[in-house]
Structure 1
Amino acid sequence: MKHLRLFVAMVAASLLASPAAAYWEYGHQTVAAIAWANITPHARAEIRRLLLVQAQLDTPSCPVRTIKEASVWPDCIKPLKDQDGKPRFGYAYSWHYQNVDICQPFRLPPACDSGDCVSAQIPRQLAVLKDKRNSAKDRLTALAFLVHFVGDLHQPLHAGDKGDKGGNDTRVDYGAYTTPRLNLHSIWDGLLAERAISTPPSMVRRYPAADAKRESAGGVVAWSRENWAIAKRAYAAAMGGDACRPTPAHMAMDEATIEAMAPVEREQIKRGGLRLAKLLNQAFRG
């Protein structure tokens, strides 16, 4: 019954998600927690100082008192309106993802040229965060976006798709759970992420320096390509092997497929955390 209640709550959350929505809180907060455990003491102290000005963001319903709260702030603020009833942060809606066709050679979309995709925003927010000439408010905003977007990029359905809004339009059953509301994106956002993260041992720990260096190698384009390739694996797993054949109206991930894909998602969450740690250490290099 406990697992059934958890599932119902997560499906209810999925109904609120837009095509650009990101990991549910568990995924983002785990990426942030891994990063926090692997940054330098200097970087940790600088982040704590920035968090002290969180009231300046004027988003009381979306606090940023910790790095874990910062990790979900860019999703939390999506519904906020200005005094004219318009979205306060509507300009950032497209920053959470990049629809790269998994059935074509890898190429970042034209939207990235203007900054309107996740891989373009990671270096942009990092640059704002690094520059101490910027206001504390602007740097804290950049910190929250950076923490969140690194998490987004490492949810593979934010890095690759098949003309279906990153799997949002692709109905998939998850083991014994069958509902018209469940789709490939929501599975990787929530149900599979929950399985991956909650499997012992804990992912949140200090990793050996050599492991962190290996896992965080490369940059945003390489990480985009990696997650795009994993997105193709995600489609193939749900479609019985051929990701690029016509998408059926209804697919299923059986228990064997779930068991095979959970470690894949777990690895990307770990990489996301260690790569975020690398960027935060760069931003606050003492």
Structure 2
Amino acid sequence: MIRKIIVLLALLATTLAAPVSAYWEYGHETIGQIAYRNVTPHTRAAMDALLRQSALLETPGCPAGTVEQAAVWADCVKKLGPRFSYAYSWHYQNVDVCRPFDLKPACKDGNCVSAQIERDVKLLKDRTVPVRERVQALAFLIHFVGDLHQPLHAGDRGDLGGNQVSATYGSYAPEKLNLHSIWDGYLAERAISTPLSPVRVYTAAEKAAVQAGSVEDWSRESWQVAHDFTYATAMGGDACAPTGGRAVLDQATIEKLVPVAKLEVERGGLRLARLLDEALG
């Protein structure tokens, strides 16, 4: 019996030490689910019709037949190496949070997440575009809107979106844990799992309050969240203070950040719904 307990503890430790890809599956899938629940019936039918053609992507190891699968497809295909390597820089736009907001340097030649969101909407609107390309645009769009609403995909301090900032999360402090992985996964998962579930049909007033603005407006807002909350809480109140060792997110700080992270997921889902209605509705 003791030996079995030791084996189980070892497996648990291995699981905790091996987080998955960007914004983790849970965050991206939740944003996709929120959007799917809040688009018009016509848009939902158009999405389903495109996703039924996902075999055209020829990525059997990375299916995209449902909104949940499509939400993580862009991360899944990274493992295919050179075939999709051109899209690596499309997942983020590291705009310096310690300088005035300026998208242009971070989006050279359209190689950033906000530019690709706008490109995918255009491709989906154009019914003359081959079906395979429209399916791919749909999968990319679902994923990239999620990425934009992970604050460390929208702003950073020249530290690879917080990947170079070691951090502790409550009492959890493995050596390789960093600020990016906390916002990608641990904090997002807690926020999504905290009642009430963000996956629901929102009222017209709730949608109007969130969906207004442009992709650039949303970029600036997410960048501001990175400054005001992500870095400020990690750097002792000053987002641009010198990094002094390991960032510490204690339990009180985590509890304050949960509603911030949850709001980002809700914003991502409802804004994705708006873009999908514009493109397919």
How far 1:113 sits from its partner (Å)?
3.7
Q: Distance in 2 between matches of 1:5 and 1:40?
A: 44
Query: CA contact under 8 A between 2:94 and 2:106: conserved in structure 1?
Result: no
Q: Which residue of 1 aligns with 2:25?
A: 25
Q: Distance in 2 between matches of 1:145 and 1:194?
A: 22
Q: Which residue of 2 aligns with 1:279?
A: 275
Q: Distance in 2 between matches of 1:12 and 1:90?
A: 23
Task: Report SS of the residue matched to 1:12.
Answer: coil
- Among candidates 222, 242, 256, match of residue 260 of structure 1: 256
Q: Distance in 2 between matches of 1:147 and 1:281?
A: 13
Task: Report SS of the residue matched to 1:168.
Answer: coil
Q: Distance in 2 between matches of 1:151 and 1:3?
A: 33
Alpha-carbon deviations, 1:111-137, whole Å to 9, x = none? 414110001110001101111001111
Segments of 5+ residues of structure 1 without an aligned counterpart are: 82-86
State whether structure 2 residue 230 is matched by structure 1 residue 234. yes
Amino acid paired to 2:234: A
- Among candidates 76, 83, 94, match of residue 89 of structure 2: 94
How far 1:248 sits from its partner (Å)?
1.7
Q: Distance in 2 between matches of 1:102 and 1:57?
A: 37
Q: Distance in 2 between matches of 1:264 and 1:123?
A: 25
Q: Which residue of 2 aligns with 1:36?
A: 36
Q: Distance in 1 between matches of 2:10 and 2:218?
A: 35
- Among candidates 183, 198, 207, match of residue 202 of structure 2: 207
Query: CA contact under 8 A between 2:51 and 2:66: conserved in structure 1?
Result: yes
State whether structure 2 residue 239 is matched by structure 1 residue 243. yes
Query: CA contact under 8 A between 1:34 and 1:273: conserved in structure 2?
Result: yes
Q: Distance in 2 between matches of 1:9 and 1:202?
A: 25
Segments of 5+ residues of structure 2 without an aligned counterpart are: none
Q: Distance in 2 between matches of 1:3 and 1:151?
A: 33
Query: CA contact under 8 A between 1:174 and 1:253: conserved in structure 2?
Result: yes
Q: Distance in 2 between matches of 1:128 and 1:118?
A: 15
Q: Which residue of 1 aligns with 2:220?
A: 225
Q: Which residue of 2 aligns with 1:162?
A: 157
Task: Report SS of the residue matched to 1:80.
Answer: helix
TM-score, L = length of structure 1: 0.92
Query: CA contact under 8 A between 2:38 and 2:273: conserved in structure 1?
Result: yes
Q: Distance in 2 between matches of 1:7 and 1:55?
A: 37
Query: CA contact under 8 A between 1:10 and 1:191: conserved in structure 2?
Result: no
Question: 1:240–1:128: structure 2 CA closer, same or farther, 3 Å change rule?
Answer: same
- Correspondence list, 1:89-238, <5 A: 89-232=84-227, 233-238=229-234
Q: Distance in 2 between matches of 1:199 and 1:5?
A: 26
Number of residues of Structure 1 aligned to a counterpart in Structure 2:
274
How far 1:46 sits from its partner (Å)?
0.7
Q: Distance in 2 between matches of 1:154 and 1:146?
A: 13
TM-score, L = length of structure 2: 0.94
**Structure 1 residue runs of 4+, over 3 Å off?**
1-8
How far 1:213 sits from its partner (Å)?
1.3
Query: CA contact under 8 A between 1:39 and 1:278: conserved in structure 2?
Result: yes
Amino acid paired to 2:49: R
Q: Distance in 1 between matches of 2:110 and 2:258?
A: 31
Query: CA contact under 8 A between 1:96 and 1:158: conserved in structure 2?
Result: yes
Task: Report SS of the residue matched to 2:256.
Answer: helix
Name the one with the larger helix percent: 2
- Correspondence list, 1:53-68, <5 A: 53-68=53-68
Question: 1:7–1:279: structure 2 CA closer, same or farther, 3 Å change rule?
Answer: farther
